[in-house]
Amino acid sequence: MTAEQQTRDSGVKRRHRQEGPQKHVMIFVLSAVLTLIAFAAVAAGDVNPVFAVILLLVMAVMQVFVQMGYWMHLKDKGHMMPIIFMLGGFLIAGTCIIMALYWVWWD
């Protein structure tokens, strides 16, 4: 007996799970808070520059995961190929950046 037959026989319709606007508002607020934290770290003049750079990088990475996970729907089932291609792109871009820095600093 297939799932379709079970659904037909039991009379229960299965619906696709939808995301409501509450989740979108929550993610938007989270993105805004991460941006405000990064802005506050830079706007405060007496913050250690090394700490500010590390905090900015951490906030940027968190923003990337939030944006890709929720706005690009990569957290949903069936999005493995886009994730693989993006990771491949990040790997190639990172390799190019490391090679360029190594080339510039070569003495």
User: How many CA atoms does the CB half-sphere of 82 hold within 13 Å?
Assistant: 10
Nearest CA-CA partner of 42 in 30, 53, 34: 53
What's the pLDDT at 66? 85
- Which residues touch 51 (CB under 8 Å, ≥6 apart)? 41
pLDDT digits (tens, 9 = 90+) for 11-67: 666 665 666 778 788 888 988 998 998 888 888 878 888 888 898 999 998 888 888
pLDDT at 86: 85
Query: What pLDDT band is residue 88 in, cutting at 50, 70 and 90?
Result: very high
The predicted pLDDT at position 78 comes to: 78
Q: How many helices (H) and strands (E) does the chain have?
A: 4, 0
How many residues in total does the chain contain? 107
- Please say if the pLDDT value at position 8 is more than 80: no
